Structure 1
């Protein structure tokens, strides 16, 4: 039978497909449509809180998902219900997710499609849209490194293509020839903003030229075209890895979400697209070619409706989640068994920078799945030459130069973790992390809490002043991250600690911000064990013991404190080097303060909002009865860090610490 048809509002060419495949395509489109119709009723009844409709876009989700293999990752958005249903996720789990029930995927911690599931190889979106594009790069990179011949498909809307993450992700995928299908659902509007106000090119695929990327436009309402063309593209990409930009032309038949409505859409436009309904047109096509008869149609619909109602009953009858503080806090980080390595038999004097490099090299040897990424880190060896020679030893697959795109590389690291690999990202300077801030604090930090997906990522942060590098290469910005639950923050002061703590950071399956003070790189030397060893997080080092005052510090400021005591040998002080800021060793701090009765905290960061403020507050709350004086904080000035050496010297607290310490002792 000729399965070609042009008598409908959509032109179908189905001769290459079996009837069974056509029926399955129909069933898979009808299921999300019927679920959505039910959800809209429940929304009006107040039984669900919000709904983002994908009515009219089902062909894209279903066609792409059926074109991929079941073990290939898909990163959908909130209008891609068909991805979830086509992967056969039990409906009661989806309904439980939308109702905040435990049977969902986020334990009531997130809503809608903001979740992922390794079992079904789906990685859900976050509200910021763009970061998932770079995450797809990471998953695809892992596939390529492991020679798995798999593709990764990631969705975004035409509005999301205006975000920087879109351009960064496409550029990385093109440069690295990653097997990613970038699926753009161009449905006409970003909330109420039409495409004419979103971008100024004829088609989004035009942008593919700029990235040297294969690009296609597909009728997003034509299930046959979506399925066959994406299937063909995927088969080619598996054999010859490279990214493909696909623009699906479609339309959003309902509001951005139901509360926003569609009054801003011209009625003629609505009518034109309503005539191209992907479900109704395909149903008519199947009927016309006697592939689907009325009896079969009724049976299919009744079966799906019965399944929906049955699973809704399960979800509605499920008990609500009872809040448990311990459970919530325990799920902020992935727990793991810290393994101590303490082979200290042979030591060698190392500079701080050498200890970092030594740790990286030994960790690369221990972890075959560890990848290092950063700007100029390969042949050049990095801005500070820490990875010099690594390419020769480990190869360019594992030591990867990156384009200047901090956001996409952090996201790529997240994708590697989802695919079961470890990664280290070097920020050329800690200052530049602001360009990758969103994926760190909103993706890496929250993924384990949201859906039990860890971010096995270490971000190295060369930081700090005292080197006359000015406002954009001298910041010590640890406070940006100590505030964010889900991140661990490490800030060593000595070569011995730097090596041991970096080894631990790489072993830890959680995201770690590892601060390395540039001013210490070549100025501090210490005997460091040659063999591999680790130091646990959350354990401060007591460098000196005394009874008069507790000095608390970290990083370069620790050395300033020690220099001050060296000039004042009569001052009898406990000196605590925090080493890790999150987790923080409050036990050591409190025990010392209870002994000395006085505390001073020295940090290089500017004063307001720094970690010294939290430490001070914690001491006041927990040790108030032991204090003989107010807790003192000493920090840099409330200004950006300047370039000229005399201005920088005034900015930093090094020279002010001595007088502050003596004033506290005299209180």
Structure 2
């Protein structure tokens, strides 16, 4: 192993040695504690330390790094206290994630480290978003994301690199190629000779280096950082390395040929660098001994502090409160909150000019762009073309292509980029061209956006607009009502307006909210529904249902298209007194309004366009049965669409939709 010190001083070389040795000595101690049962799991990076340490040394302290399992050196080189790291590894409430996460599945804003999720690949796109934030602010900063050779097989790898290349983002993608993804060798993982060859396919530069040479890693990343900033382009680095332990300790290493351990033992990053320092007379044996003793004492002191933790105190209220980021009082100052939760309050707006639902959404988005100069819009064809439904038409001329961004067909990468923007204090709105396409970005939404505040207190200030629903003859892949998928996910907020006034106010509220909000908008209502809309910048409170009309015979609890089906039916059946509740927000639900609706009539019909099995109607019916049983005069009934995909033919679609069975269910209830 050849070390080239270039112009590095002796003092710097010694600093590098201490930075490299510390994670090795910590890991050796952790393996002892693992056998003693004092920590529950450990993903060893022994043999790979030079990559994590070299990367952290080469970057500025305030440049974000997205590490993985085996990157203890990132955390230690960023000077995170070992005592608190140890609390984290024990699952203590005094750790970085309050006992809610394991090992390195956490992040910390102060140290500009974004915690991984177990799916690995989504880390890469977050770096895209961080780099985009720097680019928009014209800051000379990069973002760096780690992945393993196994992670390069994931779609997220392709999407993140492609997006970074297309948008010319200063991102460093760093592959730790240690030869095995758990037990799967590279021969079963990819067919190219070296992974760095993939860089050319994305239109970026790349290099393969010895990942066990601390000076090569440092010098390469330092130079690549300069390149990324000067050229405003991404770069791919493949580091050849090897892990000397199992994927995690329980998995063992029986699947690895024994000769490989002998080969890579000769390439040990710590021992080889140590010999280099001795040969260069930067250090002598006595000085090495002193350094090791000092680090050992530091580790023992820190572990003693870290072991002295309080027992877990389970606080259910705190657990629930931490699912969502609180909204700052400053962000609410001067915003008009419209309360139209009752028919009487709604009537006060009846004299206002009418707008179509689509125009109300556009107006809310436009006013939000004016209000928030840090709001970035992203989506397929949303710039010059104006989006599939023309909602952002004209925006690029007013706000520019930096803030109104066409995206590649990379839903997962764009959701991840939105989260990356949030790390740097930006707001973002991503438009799914159709709600059906959200499946491609599902992992980022339910595992990254939804959980990040609960895991380590980082808000995800992201809105995803979801054009949904049938009634337009668009078939199985452009007509789904898939809101129930997300109502099941703590940490998300889900809104679904049915009127123009609510569409504008809920969209503004969603953008002002620091949490991830899925904003469903029904395509069939875009141009078919009109209503009064205030011209001012206002919010409709998320989590508040609206009484559409009051009645005493049957309560219909619904949202979206169901509101219009219910009111249409009520208007043509005036001999039945209907109480109609528009949920508007599906997560969190307005349970007080639901209970009030049950109490008004004692007979409840839950109506939604989604299919029956697994739809939100099942959850509502269960809650009413559990908490409002004494108010009921009949079983709670659900009217939903058929449990089939959405058919293309209009006659088949009309039969599919819940509206086709509305009369049947109302008659059952009225006659019960």
Pair 1:220-2:211 in alignment: yes
Of 52, 55, 70, 1:61 maps to: 52
- Number of matched pairs: 658
Give the Cα–Cα distance (whole angstroms) in 1 for the partners of residues 130 and 124 of structure 2.
10
Pair 1:627-2:629 in alignment: no
Give the Cα–Cα distance (whole angstroms) in 1 for the partners of residues 661 and 419 of structure 2.
42
Give the Cα–Cα distance (whole angstroms) in 2 for the partners of residues 34 and 458 of structure 1.
44
Report deviation, 1:23: 0.6
Pair 1:511-2:516 in alignment: yes
Pair 1:31-2:36 in alignment: no
| 1:241-280 correspondence runs (5 A) | 241-280=232-271
- For 1:450, the equivalent position in structure 2 comes to 455
Structure 1 length normalisation: TM-score? 0.98
Do the aligned partners of 1:34 and 1:305 also contact (CA within 8 Å) in 2? yes
Consecutive unaligned residues in structure 2, runs of 5 or more: 339-347
- For 1:372, the equivalent position in structure 2 comes to 377
Pair 1:533-2:538 in alignment: yes
Cα deviation per residue 1:568-621 (whole Å; 9 max; x = unaligned)? 011101110111111111111111211211110100000111111111111111
Give the SS at the match of 1:312. helix
Of 558, 573, 596, 2:601 maps to: 596
Of 45, 49, 52, 2:40 maps to: 49
Report deviation, 1:266: 1.0
- For 2:643, the equivalent position in structure 1 comes to 638
Do the aligned partners of 2:381 and 2:407 also contact (CA within 8 Å) in 1? yes
| 1:539-618 correspondence runs (5 A) | 539-618=544-623
Report deviation, 1:622: 1.2
Structure 2 length normalisation: TM-score? 0.97
- For 1:3, the equivalent position in structure 2 comes to none
| 1:352-431 correspondence runs (5 A) | 352-431=357-436
Do the aligned partners of 2:579 and 2:600 also contact (CA within 8 Å) in 1? no
Of 119, 132, 135, 1:128 maps to: 119
Do the aligned partners of 2:551 and 2:600 also contact (CA within 8 Å) in 1? no
Give the SS at the match of 1:469. coil
Give the SS at the match of 1:529. coil
Give the Cα–Cα distance (whole angstroms) in 2 for the partners of residues 376 and 201 of structure 1.
33
Report deviation, 1:359: 0.4
Do the aligned partners of 2:337 and 2:541 also contact (CA within 8 Å) in 1? no
Report deviation, 1:241: 1.3
- For 2:107, the equivalent position in structure 1 comes to 116
Cα deviation per residue 1:399-426 (whole Å; 9 max; x = unaligned)? 0000001100000000000111000000
- For 2:195, the equivalent position in structure 1 comes to 204
Report deviation, 1:342: 4.7
Give the SS at the match of 1:251. coil
Cα deviation per residue 1:114-138 (whole Å; 9 max; x = unaligned)? 0000000111211000001001100
Do the aligned partners of 1:446 and 1:486 also contact (CA within 8 Å) in 2? yes
Consecutive unaligned residues in structure 1, runs of 5 or more: 1-9
Of 256, 276, 279, 1:285 maps to: 276
Give the Cα–Cα distance (whole angstroms) in 2 for the partners of residues 334 and 327 of structure 1.
12
- For 2:465, the equivalent position in structure 1 comes to 460
Report deviation, 1:557: 1.1
Of 627, 648, 651, 2:653 maps to: 648
Pair 1:40-2:35 in alignment: no
- For 2:344, the equivalent position in structure 1 comes to none
- For 2:162, the equivalent position in structure 1 comes to 171
Pair 1:438-2:443 in alignment: yes
Give the Cα–Cα distance (whole angstroms) in 1 for the partners of residues 621 and 92 of structure 2.
40
Report deviation, 1:269: 1.3
Give the SS at the match of 1:13. coil
- For 2:228, the equivalent position in structure 1 comes to 237
Pair 1:350-2:355 in alignment: yes
Give the Cα–Cα distance (whole angstroms) in 2 for the partners of residues 627 and 581 of structure 1.
22
Give the SS at the match of 1:634. strand
Do the aligned partners of 2:548 and 2:580 also contact (CA within 8 Å) in 1? yes
Give the SS at the match of 1:182. strand
Do the aligned partners of 1:574 and 1:592 also contact (CA within 8 Å) in 2? yes
4+ runs deviating over 2 angstroms: 337-340, 342-348
Report deviation, 1:103: 2.4
Do the aligned partners of 1:546 and 1:574 also contact (CA within 8 Å) in 2? yes
